[in-house]
């Protein structure tokens, strides 16, 4: 149990489960084909994740990685570039890399049908060398604008065929930029792949604490009975980023915060918080329940959005002691850009469990600190018998599920201070997710890559869920992009703050406050 900041911080003791309950499993033999392998995502995330899985003996002995990209470099140069990227990511092991590097190949391609046919011949040769059989993962790490054309070339070149093994295609976000483009992309995908072959990735769902929301709720009898409108006052989901747009101006000018964060990450976390318990813990049953949450979302319209959506954009300020440029001063950004870098939204899930309980979603760039958390705030006790006794206000009880930067679950409640006087103090029961655990901890990309290799789709987005999330959010996207008379106000906020003051007033109208990050 941990006292609120400034006090003593005792910790909860964690029991240990037997190793048979927690063993990791290794992947199937397969070829991992990365389209766009010379790009930033491959260097920062994919190769370090795959190397970590290899180093921890979670990959099958039969595997290899084939990088495909337009960049005309040699295989040896590609290996050297990837080695530098993995070293930069940390936890490098020279002995492991010697073996890993032998399984790392490269083939330059322009993604045309003819070029991919040659790449397929090269891949088939390496499949014999590395004993992967006909199993392959096709990972699209390219700009989303070329997804459809690459998928058509994959199909016409024969790469989509299974030939006695399995073929899985992994598609990174953004999956379209609106409902119409998402449906068009889905039509292309459906033409060449069955739904069970398609893995729409959202790395947020690979974070252990997101998955632990289900365990926390459904494995503990003290929480699930009160996880409803009778006991919960409201729910907050916050994804706060201290970084700006970095070198992604071209993408962000087209996307904005609603496309970048709400359509995928925020709504996917919401589905775990709001879902009903599946009858059996199986991938499709869990995904069924998450889809039901999207079906129950109260539709948005222009009038409700005026009261339930705040949009903002950062101006120059200071983040972590360093000066930060405003959004419009970032390289590649239109100097009159009206793109929102912050949004706060109130929504409702219209079903038996959640009717009338507001869900507040908030996300933004260049905020005070980087954190993602879910706050479940409970209703006040029905009768304040201590009214007038304490000078301080008796605040609400809350469960805080921290997804990043430090994965933990906290339970806030009240207790009397020691001594003769009646003084109240807030205390926090604090569970650090990795405290007391000595096994391997996989990061988000390591987890979702592993799940793809073993064919577990629980943490991937199904086509109906993807389409419903776009359909529900479309009115907000249209409203946010209106210009001229009647357009929504774009509230400016200083870099390094918690967002625009209008967001504080927005939740304050309901008599509530945002819960920010506390160590």
Residues noted as catalytic: 265
Residue 286 burial by CB count (10 A; 0-12/13-18/19+): exposed, middle or buried? buried
Catalogue the E-assigned strands of 304-407. Answer: 309-315, 317-319, 322-324, 342-348, 358-364, 371-378, 398-404
Q: Residue 37: which of 86, 105, 114, 94 has the closest Cα?
A: 105
Alpha-carbon torsion (85, 86, 89, 92), positive or negative: negative
| Angstrom distance (rounded) from CA 171 to CA 102 | 26
| Angstrom distance (rounded) from CA 172 to CA 147 | 10
Q: Residue 516: which of 312, 261, 257, 240 has the closest Cα?
A: 240
Pairing type for strands 358-364 and 232-240 reads parallel
Cβ(67)–Cβ(47) below 8 Å: no
Enumerate residues 6+ apart whose C-beta is below 8 A from 216: 223, 401, 409
Helix (H) or strand (E) holding 2: strand 2-3
| Angstrom distance (rounded) from CA 317 to CA 366 | 9
Within 13 Å and on the Cβ side, how many CA atoms surround 244? 27
| Angstrom distance (rounded) from CA 59 to CA 137 | 13
| Angstrom distance (rounded) from CA 125 to CA 325 | 51
- The single-letter DSSP state of residue 73 is -
Q: Give the phi and the psi of residue 234 in degrees, each rounded to 5.
A: -165, 170
What b-and-e string marks burial along 320-329, b requiring 16 or more CB atoms within 10 Å of the CB?
A: eeeebbbbbe
3-state secondary structure string across 28-44: CCEEEEEECCCCHHHHH
């Amino acid at each position: 149990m941990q006292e609120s900041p400034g006090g003593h911080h005792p910790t909860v003791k964690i029991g240990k489960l037997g190793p048979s309950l927690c063993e990791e499993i290794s992947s199937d033999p397969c070829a991992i084909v990365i389209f766009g392998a010379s790009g930033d995502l491959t260097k920062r995330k994919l190769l370090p994740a795959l190397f970590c899985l290899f180093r921890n003996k979670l990959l099958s002995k039969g595997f290899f990685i084939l990088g495909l990209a337009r960049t005309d470099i040699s295989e040896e140069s590609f290996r050297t570039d990837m080695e530098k990227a993995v070293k930069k990511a940390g936890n490098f092991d020279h002995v492991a890399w010697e073996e890993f590097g032998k399984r790392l190949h490269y083939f330059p391609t322009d993604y045309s049908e003819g070029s991919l046919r040659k790449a397929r011949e090269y891949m088939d040769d390496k499949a014999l060398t590395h004993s992967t059989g006909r199993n392959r993962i096709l990972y699209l790490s390219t700009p989303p604008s070329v997804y459809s054309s690459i998928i058509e070339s994959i199909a016409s070149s024969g790469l989509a065929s299974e030939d006695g093994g399995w073929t899985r295609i992994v598609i990174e976000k953004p999956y379209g930029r609106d409902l119409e483009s998402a449906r068009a992309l889905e039509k292309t995908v459906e033409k060449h792949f069955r739904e069970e072959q398609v893995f729409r990735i959202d790395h947020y769902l690979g974070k252990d604490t997101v998955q632990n929301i289900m365990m926390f709720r459904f494995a503990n009898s003290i929480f699930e009975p009160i996880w409803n409108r009778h006991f919960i006052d409201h729910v907050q989901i916050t994804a706060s980023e201290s970084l700006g747009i970095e070198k992604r101006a071209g993408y962000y000018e087209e996307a904005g915060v609603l496309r970048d964060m709400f359509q995928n990450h925020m709504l996917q976390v919401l589905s775990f918080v709001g879902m009903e318990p599946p009858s059996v813990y199986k991938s499709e049953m869990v995904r069924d329940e998450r889809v039901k949450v999207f079906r129950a979302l109260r539709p948005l319209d222009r009038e409700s959005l005026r009261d339930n959506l705040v949009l903002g954009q950062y101006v120059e300020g200071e983040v972590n002691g360093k000066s930060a440029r405003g959004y419009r001063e970032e390289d590649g950004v239109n100097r009159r850009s009206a793109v929102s870098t912050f949004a706060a939204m109130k929504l409702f899930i219209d079903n038996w469990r959640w009717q009338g309980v507001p869900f507040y979603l908030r996300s933004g760039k260049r905020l005070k600190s980087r954190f993602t958390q879910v706050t479940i705030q409970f209703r006040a006790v029905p009768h304040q018998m201590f009214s007038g006794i304490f000078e301080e206000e008796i605040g609400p009880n809350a469960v805080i599920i921290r997804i990043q930067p430090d994965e933990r679950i906290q339970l806030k409640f009240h207790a009397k201070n020691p001594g003769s006087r009646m003084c109240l103090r807030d205390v926090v029961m604090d569970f650090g997710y990795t405290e007391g655990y000595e096994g391997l901890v996989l990061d988000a990309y390591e987890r979702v890559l592993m799940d793809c290799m073993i064919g577990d789709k629980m943490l991937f987005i199904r086509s109906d869920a993807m389409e419903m999330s776009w359909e529900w959010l479309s009115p907000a996207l249209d409203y946010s992009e209106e210009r001229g008379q009647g357009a929504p106000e774009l509230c400016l906020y200083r870099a390094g703050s918690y967002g625009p003051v209008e967001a504080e007033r927005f939740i304050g109208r309901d008599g509530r406050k945002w819960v920010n990050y506390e160590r």
